[in-house]
Amino acid sequence: MTHPSRGCLIALALLGAVVLAWFWSGRPTGWKEMARMTGVKVPAGAVMSAVEHPTEVAYLGTIDLKSDADVQEFIRLNGLTRMIEHVQDDGWLHRGRLAYEVPKERYADTWVLWAHSEYNAWEFVLDPSTRRVRYEVLVPDYAGDLPFDDRAEGGTPGKD
């Protein structure tokens, strides 16, 4: 009976490492990666939470802005719009998972950004009364399938 050579075992271990690295490449691990992926600009001094990864394709987090001036700067730098501007004829907002959590009576005071790139989609929801921004970034799954995004105009990213 022959035993595998040490070189063969090393080659298999390296191949396994390459496959794992390929699966994890491009996965955001913190706010800097989120900012790079989304292009969102944050005023100096803002406090970013740790990025949560509740599902294979979703990354969640919060940004706490330190002043009302920072709130206005965040809106201006990133082109947020009032949530009320996106309400449909039936009086309801039909976009965004995070936006669904906002009570209807707060639509006029809440600011939002829904956008996407070729591979990622994101939603930012700003409540000026708390100076808190909540965000979700969707990325392709491990099979490389793009995130379904019914929030962005035109549907699925890259399919506009």
Contacts of 33 (CB under 8 A, 6+ apart): 51
CB 121, CB 151: distance < 8 Å: yes
- What local confidence, expressed as pLDDT, does residue 18 receive? 60
CA dihedral 95, 101, 107, 112 (to 10 degrees): -60
* pLDDT of 152 strictly over 60: no
- What local confidence, expressed as pLDDT, does residue 32 receive? 76
Cβ neighbours of 77 (radius 10 Å): 12
CB 109, CB 126: distance < 8 Å: no
* pLDDT of 4 strictly over 80: no
- What local confidence, expressed as pLDDT, does residue 148 receive? 60
- What local confidence, expressed as pLDDT, does residue 19 receive? 56
CB 37, CB 73: distance < 8 Å: no
- What local confidence, expressed as pLDDT, does residue 135 receive? 92
- What local confidence, expressed as pLDDT, does residue 104 receive? 81
* pLDDT of 150 strictly over 70: no
What separation, in Å, do the N-terminal and C-terminal C-alpha atoms of the chain show? 60
pLDDT tens digits, one per residue of 86-136: 888 887 777 777 877 888 888 889 999 999 888 888 999 999 999 999 999
**3 state SS of 134:** strand
The rounded distance, in Å, linking the Cα atoms of 158 and 82 is: 25
* pLDDT of 79 strictly over 50: yes
**3 state SS of 127:** strand
- What local confidence, expressed as pLDDT, does residue 73 receive? 96
CA dihedral 65, 70, 76, 82 (to 10 degrees): 60
- What local confidence, expressed as pLDDT, does residue 52 receive? 80
pLDDT tens digits, one per residue of 19-57: 555 444 444 456 777 888 899 999 888 888 877 877 778
Average pLDDT over residues 59-76: 94
